[in-house]
């Protein structure tokens, strides 16, 4: 079993830069940006000194609201050197969510871009802090956000009341190398260094406190499971604000001395072009991303022969999609990772040496130095192999807790240190896990427990179905009925009756969808996770079932 690495994020980058100084650390093909590890480490040091010159202390909270721009990954490692906690902001947030996050996280600094195609970040910030327009940079006194002082803008024209990110490099001259080294040496690997907000599908989002120790060791395990070395080059189209981007992506590269090749935003054509141009050996993505890449490969020719591995995660991975990624994209050692932000994030993972059957049908075994078990959600007793229950995890990867939410923390982590994931799964006698659903997602139809994942996997085998999401909708007779939202392959035609006929005698009658709706897309979070609760709301409106939601049950 691997030995745990007791080091800070800043110390890790120093170490890797001395071991692989001339290896490429960070490459952006859209702007011809290339840093070796020596150059990247030096640049992160400059930014860290700039942040210190602003007066930012160890443990202070810096929020970043940006797509996968180079400054994002620089800030991740610069804060890791000078000890500020990086608070990641979902790129889809609107004013209300931004205000909540900045207040709840006690952030004193916000680093931001001008926005995305669908959101103008500057307009939202000025709406929250109209005082910005008439204040000097660093001098903000905001009525709604009293702790917020510094706004740092990534881009060309610097808006009123803000610093420009480039000014950090100028301010760096006010701090000596010795002062930065002293600050870095004062950091404890068990300090919180990263705070990520859970998507908040129930209640308000919670700030997950992750330490240097949490994320560095999780990245080591992930790298080991993928056989990652300094020779690998990882295409990262998943967002940095999510653990998938900044732990399974950037941190996993850095612990290995591998090359980070991020995309500012996901685009299937750009992903395939980047893999071809940079000879990437690995690519990450959620299933919907891989589905879009495979569709693009149907239309145009791309050389993905350099691909070896990568991670498909973020939501249940359809077996047929997984096989296509192996056979058509050439990622013969593609892996699946299961976990959640509260676990830094990986809990289980398939290995590159696992036979294809296990790599497409399970989420692997526990990663080194982590324990996982299946418990009965009612009794809390351990379940034997093959019996479904809630997945619980324990080890170095479990978060420090939710920021300023002791009760929510106590609900998630029991007195013995086990993290209760809220996910349902089964474990076989060899320790391989399968995810069967969420405790909340389970459909109960006439007393029968139905797990959407099982029906989804079956419907994926239909040659005309591209993607499917199964949910429960209210029913007067049965309590709930099964509904399948289906995306068809280009040019395909299919009726509800044909879908139901395909299921007859292949899955239990009570599992056959009573409703079938055809859609072009699903509502997703910015990290690509499909929001099933929104699909349920959509279906209830579309089918006119609102009155049934008001029926009280015991």
Q: Please report the DSSP string for 441-459 in residue order.
A: T-EEETTEEE-HHHHHHHH
With a cut of 50, which residues of the chain have pLDDT below it? Answer: 200-202, 552-554
Domain limit, last residue, from 207, 235, 252: 207
Any domain includes 187: yes
Any domain includes 37: yes
Any domain includes 431: no
Give the containing element (helix H, strand E) for 48: helix 37-53
How many whole angstroms separate alpha carbon 146 and alpha carbon 148?
Answer: 6
Any domain includes 122: yes
Any domain includes 71: yes
Going by C-alpha positions, the residue among 10, 11, 164, 174 that lies closest to residue 80 is 10
297-334 b/e with 16+ CB inside 10 Å = b?
beeeebebeebbbbbbbbbbbbebbbebbbeebbbebb
Domain limit, last residue, from 207, 223, 253: 207
- pLDDT number for residue 1: 67
Any domain includes 33: yes
442-470 b/e with 16+ CB inside 10 Å = b?
bbebeeeebbbbebbbbbeebeebbbbbb
How many whole angstroms separate alpha carbon 394 and alpha carbon 384?
Answer: 18
Write down the pTM of the prediction: 0.85
Per the structure, how many domains does the chain have? 2
Tokens (6 digits) for 212: 């240097």
- pLDDT number for residue 551: 56
Q: What angle do CA 402, 407, 411 make, to 5 degrees?
A: 85
**Parent domain of 136:** 9-207
- pLDDT number for residue 201: 40
Any domain includes 263: no
Any domain includes 417: no
- pLDDT number for residue 360: 82
Q: What is the CATH number of the domain that holds 133?
A: 3.40.50.12780
In 3-state terms the chain splits into helix, strand, coil percentages (rounded to 5) of 35, 25, 40
Q: What is the CATH number of the domain that holds 513?
A: 3.30.300.30
Backbone angles phi, psi at 505, to 5 degrees: 65, 5
Sign of CA dihedral 76, 80, 83, 88: positive
How many whole angstroms separate alpha carbon 512 and alpha carbon 496?
Answer: 11
Domain limit, last residue, from 207, 227, 256: 207
């Amino acid at each position: 079993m691997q030995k745990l690495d007791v080091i800070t994020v800043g110390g890790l980058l120093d170490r890797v830069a001395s071991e692989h100084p001339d290896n490429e650390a960070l490459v952006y093909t859209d702007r011809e940006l290339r840093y070796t590890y020596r150059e990247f480490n030096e640049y992160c040091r400059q930014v860290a000194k700039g942040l210190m010159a602003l007066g930012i202390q160890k443990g202070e909270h810096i929020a970043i609201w940006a797509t996968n721009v180079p400054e994002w990954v620089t800030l991740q490692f610069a804060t890791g050197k000078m000890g500020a906690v990086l608070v990641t902001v979902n790129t889809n947030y609107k004013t209300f969510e931004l205000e909540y996050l900045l207040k709840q996280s006690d952030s004193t600094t916000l680093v931001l871009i001008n926005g995305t195609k669908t959101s103008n970040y500057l307009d939202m910030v000025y709406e929250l802090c109209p005082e910005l327009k008439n204040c000097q940079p660093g001098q903000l006194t905001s009525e709604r956000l009293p702790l917020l002082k510094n706004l740092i803008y990534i881009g060309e024209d610097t808006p009123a009341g803000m610093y420009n990110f480039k000014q950090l490099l100028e301010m760096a001259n006010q701090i000596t190398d010795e002062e930065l080294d002293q600050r870095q040496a004062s950091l404890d690997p068990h300090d919180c260094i990263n705070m990520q907000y859970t998507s908040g599908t129930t209640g308000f989002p919670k700030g997950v406190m992750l330490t240097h120790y949490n994320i560095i060791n999780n990245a080591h395990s992930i790298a080991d499971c993928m056989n990652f070395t300094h020779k690998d080059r990882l295409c990262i189209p998943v967002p940095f604000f999510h653990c998938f981007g900044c732990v399974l992506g950037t941190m996993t590269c850095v612990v290995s001395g591998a090359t980070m090749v991020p995309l500012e935003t996901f685009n299937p054509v750009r992903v395939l072009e980047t893999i071809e141009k940079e000879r990437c050996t690995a690519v990450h993505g959620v299933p919907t991303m891989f589905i879009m890449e495979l569709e693009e490969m149907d239309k145009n020719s791309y050389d993905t022969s350099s691909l070896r591995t990568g991670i498909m995660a973020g939501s249940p991975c359809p077996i047929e999609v997984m096989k296509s990624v192996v056979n058509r994209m050439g990622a013969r050692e593609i892996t699946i990772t299961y976990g959640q932000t509260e676990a830094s994030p990986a809990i289980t993972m398939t290995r590159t040496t696992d036979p294809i059957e296990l790599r497409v049908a399970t989420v692997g075994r526990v990663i080194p130095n982590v324990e996982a078990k299946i418990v009965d959600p009612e009794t809390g007793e351990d379940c034997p192999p093959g019996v479904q229950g809630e997945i619980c995890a324990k080890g170095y990867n479990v978060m420090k807790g939710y920021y300023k939410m002791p009760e929510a923390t106590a609900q998630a982590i029991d007195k013995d240190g086990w993290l209760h994931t809220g996910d349902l799964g089964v474990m076989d006698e060899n320790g391989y896990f399968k995810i069967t659903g969420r405790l909340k997602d389970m459909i109960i139809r006439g007393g029968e427990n139905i797990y959407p994942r099982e029906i989804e996997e079956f419907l994926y085998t239909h040659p005309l179905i591209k993607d499917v999401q199964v949910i429960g909708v209210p029913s007067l007779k049965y309590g709930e009925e099964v509904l399948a939202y289906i995306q068809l392959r280009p040019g395909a035609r299919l009726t509800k009756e044909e879908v139901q006929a395909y299921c007859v005698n292949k899955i239990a009658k009570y599992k056959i969808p009573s409703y079938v709706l055809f859609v072009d897309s699903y509502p997703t979070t910015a990290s690509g996770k499909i929001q099933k609760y929104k699909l349920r709301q959509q279906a209830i409106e579309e089918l006119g079932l609102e009155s049934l939601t008001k029926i009280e049950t015991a």
